[in-house]
Structure 1
């Protein structure tokens, strides 16, 4: 994903949900176009083994596939029928996504079958397993219907499907209870095959950013997307294609609402620019004008998924715009005080202003004295005469200084 608008993560490890681990720092790689890409490594250790329920496994599998630009499906020895069955969720979601009024293209990017401990070297060599995969994905009359559908439609919903055949990593690794990742412990043949596979997955010539709803995902957005998808799978039941679709719909609406609100604020900033206070009528006219523009921007966002999601976010947008209006009202009201003070200082040459200020200051001081004598002490009451007295002396200085200057020049 592009790294320009997102800050890198600095923790050593971060765990988001049971079974999903993310490496704490992105690996920065410059693509062939010169753009810096942040590659995030994610592991779903334990998926589809005996340590987790099937519901937990499918949740982790679905979440990792949705947020990854490259999903490596790690299997042992062969691609079994149950491994393909796990992909039926994505085939069903792909079907729903492609049937929506707004089509963003294929919903998933790259799927890579990584077959470890591959033993059938007589027929297929280590490395590129395209021929092996084509043979696995062939259909026949004896297969269950759901398996046939997965085989037939997998290529329609993933942009690219690849397969790599790897040897056993070495018995020194397999015998250990916890492999610590030391390259020296890997079998030399396994290391050589990894050197061929990794550049074909994340090399600068093949690296592509993660896309969600047809838009590039930045590092900053990825955290938000992760939370939305995780929330859609938070339950006791298996993930549903409709849940994924609604999560995508919510993401689209959130971005559209943010853009609409920013457009409203930019318009109101232009309308209220300046130091003079606007009339309430003109302020409301600007609010209506830019509010309608914002709602039109939101209405143009692609309509997918549940209408309920769209309606709730529209209500939230309207609340945010009304809250912004109250903020602009307060800023506009503040200009009244600032404008009065500026006008008084600008009219410093007027003797009538001096008389008015002096009277106001004297009256305020007298009022404060009476209040204090009555035993009522208030910071606000004392502050008013002090401020007016200060303004009076400023006026007196501005008005009398030219007179003293002219008198001094005559004496010289």
Structure 2
């Protein structure tokens, strides 16, 4: 019934052919090399698009990102249809084909101007060439075509550039005729980042009558089973940095994983923007010559988010019932706003709250729009791009969404909250591409499995290393300032290392074996470094360590003085040889003493510490000998006396035997012996 109604409407009103410039197409500004895991910024293609914008005019960039095979290029084809219908030209020489969207039910004039939707890669050559012929005839009759024909030099140059772009296999494999390519199937269609080479010029109500250049950007789908996370984050980040209005394409519903993806990749873009800001300010300070701040030194407000606008477009949504006959745009806006409030509502769960905070700190304006499924005919391989095959409910919602995007939400691209022109956009894009390619500004992105395994392995490394450090530190603390024997310390090290590895093996149980093995290697390296440090600490406690540094000068000086004294005593003072030799020996002794002083001054604190440690050891030895002497003195036999003051008979007999066998002068005195030993040690 709907098809009959729309066919009747088309029969009543003549079809308006939207003019299409034969030279316009999508050009690839960023290409990827999946084997080398790198990307390339094509500056000539980007410059070719920006040169078509007057240098002082502001530029609004609308970009669509999201998972692969979710209809991003299909949506951009409708946006191209809208922009071609309302393009005013750089100087306002064109008049829009239509006054604006019609609020009555059904598609507006710009939506039903032509039944064929450009961009379908399923379209056969006959249909495509016939449509191109009609569009080219309409473009030839437009004022813009007459202006270009009046300037043959400019026309030939543009034709040559476009011809070279079409001959490039890199471009021809990804685009369809006159729109961003979309097609049926499970394989990806777009790789890298593509930009429409024709800027459009509008005066939207959001700009209060100011004319602005509009550029459309199509982005490679995320998570396409071929591209790694690092390239995906670079593409998403570059698209976010380039666009003033970002459309985040989501399938079915706004789930938590999609919000986390938006927060993660937006954070990479924010990091790149902050890094570029730091580099710009540093270079501005270096180049300042006292004549004022350079133009690159733009003001920045840290309280405002770095990016402007993001809209989460929920495709194939079945949460809301759509009806073309009773469609109400105001009610849809109210429903979407309520959903947006629920998404960003405060939550007590830590990770959910962090995700919302990350999104809020990245974007100034955040919105959501739900769109129904376009119909089963669109998903079939026989679909050639006929608008009549698209469900009316989908057309109604997309018509409102596209109109709101370019009339209500469109803003010029700003960097650090200052609008940039076309000439500045290329410089910033070049700087952002360099930051992502250098990959030192932010950490390497990981998927959920790798990130979880990495976090678990890091925790295992930390716990195991703390166990090793605590065990070995306890051994040294128990020894106080004493030196632990080399063999004993080595044994404790082996026990502590085994205990640490046991802790690691009990915790590192998640993730691939390769990551666990790499984490074990990291732990082993950290243990080796700490073992080296503890060996140095233990060897530093040895009071005789490096004693040769002090002993050699002392020995040389002592020998020189001793030989000099012996020479003076035995050699005649009247012989010149004796006097010269004695003077030489005293000179050597002085040099040795000076060397000893220099060693003390150079080693400074370590020398004093070692000297104090040596004195402490000597004091401890003296104390030990004193205690031993006291114990020996207390252990001397004391003969008990009777009440009358005489010794018992048994004791007297034992004493007589001792006196008989050992004379008094021959009995060794233990106390005297210890005192002699201590005197010799002192």
Query: Which TM-score applies when normalising by structure 1?
Result: 0.49
| Bigger radius of gyration | 2
Query: Which TM-score applies when normalising by structure 2?
Result: 0.31
